[in-house]
Amino acid sequence: MRDDPLFYVVAAACLGVLVILMIGIGGFAKGGDFNRKHANKVMRLRIAAQFVAVMLILLFVWLRRGG
């Protein structure tokens, strides 16, 4: 699995989702001006990143099963 470049793309996508989620949670916890201005944008970005990550995971599984 470590020889497969798609595995690293999937891992990077998952880490990207995690980073976006932590930014969103941190902004929510801190509150203030950043949260008022960017909370919805950050969570929409997280949803889009999650969609991409899930599609990449499905592609990875499909290709590894011989699809």
Residue spans of the domains in the chain: they are: 1-30, 34-66
In sequence order, which residues have a C-beta less than 8 Å from that of residue 23 and are 6 or more positions away? 42
pTM of the entire structure?
A: 0.86
Q: Is 62 exposed, middle or buried (0-12, 13-18, 19+ CB in 10 A)?
A: exposed
Looking at residue 19, its pLDDT comes to: 97
Give the Cα separation of 32 and 46 in Å (integer).
20
**pLDDT for 50:** 98
Which residues lie below 8 Å from residue 35, measured CB to CB, with a gap of 6+? 27, 28
What would the pLDDT profile of 10-55 be if each residue is shown by its tens digit?
999 999 999 999 999 999 998 889 889 999 999 999 999 999 999 9
